[in-house]
Amino acid sequence: MSEEHLTITDDRTGKSYKLPIEEGTVRAMDLRQIKTNEHDFGLMTYDPALMNTASTKSAITFIDGDKGILEYRGFPVEQLAERSNFLEVAYLILFGEMPNEEQSTAWTYDITHHTFVHENIKTLMQAFRYDAHPMGMFISTVAALSTFYPEAKQVSDADNRLAQIKRLIAKVPTIAAYTFRHNRGLRYVYPDNDLSYTGNFLNMMFKMTETKYKPNPALEHALDVLFILHADHEQNCSTNAMRAIGSSCADPYSAMAGAAAALYGPLHGGANEEVLKMLSRIDDKRNIPEFIQRVKNGEGKLMGFGHRVYKNYDPRARIIKRVADEVFEMTGRNRLLDIALELERIALEDEYFISRKLYPNVDFYSGIIYQAMGLPVTMFPVMFAIPRTVGWLAQWQEMITDPEQKITRPRQIFVGQPRRELPKKKD
Ligand code: ACO
C-alpha cells in the first residue's frame, strides 16, 4: 500500500477520495471512481500531446531535462560515448547490463551475420523512383521485411523476438545504404562482415572500385559516437508510436515502420534536415540578427533548438559539438558550422530564448557532421533511424513483457454533433 496519498474533494457531490501517489504520479484509472451518479462514466484526464502523462514504467533511459542528464540503464551517455562502442551500448540498452568480453564477441558476431538482405528486397528497392526520398524508401522497406519473416508475428515468444531484434539491428544499415546508392544511381554494395558496424556502413555507402574498402578510422569512430547518442531517448514521439503499434501485437517490422514514419516529421528526427536548410538560407553570419528577429516575430522557428524535455543544454549536443571538431579536422571546416556556432552564441544571449529555456538539441550539430561526411540532407533522418532502431526494439520488448500493458487506446472528449436524424429519402 502506498504511503503517500492525494485527497480529492468533488465539489459536485461533496464526496472525498483518497488516491495513492506512487513515484510522483496518480493512476488516471483511479479517477474513474469519481462519479456524480451511477450512470456517470467517471472522471477522466484530458492531456492532448500527453504533456503530463506517464504512459509506462520503463527501466531503460533516464532523462533529467532540467539538469541536462541522459543515462542508458544508469550509465551517463558521456561515459558511454567515451568508453564503449555502439554495439555494446545496443546490448546494454536491450539487456540491461554491459556485455562481458564473451557476450560482446557473440553479440557482434550475431549482428554482423545478419547484415545481408534477401535479394528480393533489393529488387523491391530498385522499383523506387531515382529521386525517391530515402526515408520513404527506408520506412517502406522495413515494413516489407515483415513479409519475409512471417514468424515475427509470434511476439510473445522470447526467442523469436530476439531473432527479429538481431535481424533489424543488422539490416537497417544495409537498407539505409541502399537508399543512398539508389538516389545516386550507383550499384548497391553488399555488407563486408570483416568491418565494424559503422565501418561496414561506410563501406556500403561509399565503396567504389576498390576491392576492399578501408573506412577512415576517425569517421568510423565519429559515426559510432553519433549512433550511441541517438540510440534511445525514452518516450519520444517515435518510441511512443512503436509502443502504440506494438501494443496491438503487430510484428516488430510493421511497428518499426510506423515508428520510423513518426521520426520522419520535421518536429522530431526530420529537424536536422531543417537545420541544414535553415543554415544554408541564412548563408552568412551577418544575416543572423535579422533571422533571429524573424523567429522572435513568430515567422518561423530556430530549428535544432528547444525540446519537450530538456530545459537545459541537451547533453548530446555538447558531445556532438566535440565530434564535429574531430570530423572537421579530417574533412576540412564546413562554413555552416561557423554560422551555427554564431547562431547558438547569439540565441543563448537573447532574452526570448533564455526565458523559454530554448537550447540547442541533438539535431543542431548532427546535420553539419553528416554533410561533412558527404551525405545529402535527405539522408539525415535515416541516419537517426539506424541507431534508434535499438531504442525502439528495447522499448517494444519492454512493453510486450510488461504485464500492465494492454492495447493502447486513449479516450476522447467528444465535441461533435449530438445525435440527429438523417431525413428519409423520398421514393
Ligand atoms: N524556435 C523559436 N521558438 C521556439 C522554438 C524554436 N525552435 N521552440 C519552442 N519555441 C517557443 C514556442 O513558440 C513557445 O513560445 P510561446 O510560449 O511564446 O508560445 C515556447 O517556445 C514553448 O514551445 P512549445 O512549442 O510549447 O514547446 P514544445 O515542447 O511543444 O515543443 C519542440 C518542443 C517541438 C522540439 C519545439 O521546441 C520545436 O519545434 N523545436 C524546433 C524543431 C526541433 O529542433 N525539433 C527536434 C527536437 S529533438 C528531437 O526530436 C530529436
- Atom 9, ligand 1: which residue's CA is nearest? 306
The residues that bridge with 64 in the sheet, in sequence order, are: 69
Nearest CA to ligand 1 atom 22: 356
Nearest Cα residue to atom 43 of ligand 1: 304
The β-bridge relationship of strands 69-72 and 75-76 is: antiparallel
Q: How many angstroms is it from 232 CA to the middle of ligand 1? A: 20
Residue nearest to atom 37 of ligand 1 (CA): 306
Residues 6+ apart with CB under 8 A from 164: 149, 152, 251, 252, 253
Which residues, in sequence order, are bridge partners of residue 305? Answer: 360
Q: How far is the CA of 304 from the centre of ligand 1 (A)?
A: 9
Average pLDDT per block of 10 residues along the chain, 427 residues long: 87 98 97 97 97 97 94 97 97 98 98 97 97 97 98 98 98 98 97 97 97 95 96 97 98 98 89 89 95 96 91 89 86 87 94 95 88 92 97 98 96 97 91
pLDDT score, position 210: 95
Largest CA distance in the chain: 81
pLDDT at position 2: 53
* Ligand 1 pocket, CB under 6 A: 267-269, 271, 295, 301-308, 356, 358, 361-363
Give the residue, by CA position, lying nearest to ligand 1 atom 39.
Answer: 267
Are the C-beta atoms of residues 315 and 369 closer than 8 Å to each other? Answer: no
Does the annotation count 307 as an active-site position? yes
CB 58, CB 240: distance < 8 Å: no
Rounded Cα distance between 352 and 184, Å, is 42
Cell reading at 348: 543563448
Active-site residue 230, yes or no?
Answer: no
pLDDT, position 269: 85
Identify the residue whose C-alpha is closest to ligand 1 atom 27.
308
Residues 272-308 as b/e (b if ≥16 CB within 10 A, e otherwise) read: bbbbbebbeebeeeeebeebbeebeeeeeebbbbbbe
User: In angstroms, what is the span from residue 306 Cα to ligand 1's centroid?
Assistant: 5
pLDDT at 308: 85
Specify the pLDDT at position 54: 97
Q: Which of 30, 64, 268, 350 is catalytic?
A: 268
The C-alpha atoms of residue 213 and residue 208 are separated, in whole angstroms, by: 8
User: Which of 229, 274, 305, 366 for a ligand 1 pocket mutation test, highest count of atoms within 8 Å of Cβ?
Assistant: 305
* pLDDT for 31: 98
Phi, then psi, of 119 in degrees rounded to 5:
-60, -30
* 395 C-alpha to ligand 1 centroid (Å): 25
CA 340 – ligand 1 centroid, Å: 18
Ligand 1 mean position to 417 CA, how many Å? Answer: 34
| Best of 52, 235, 267 for a ligand 1 pocket test (most atoms within 8 Å of beta carbon) | 267
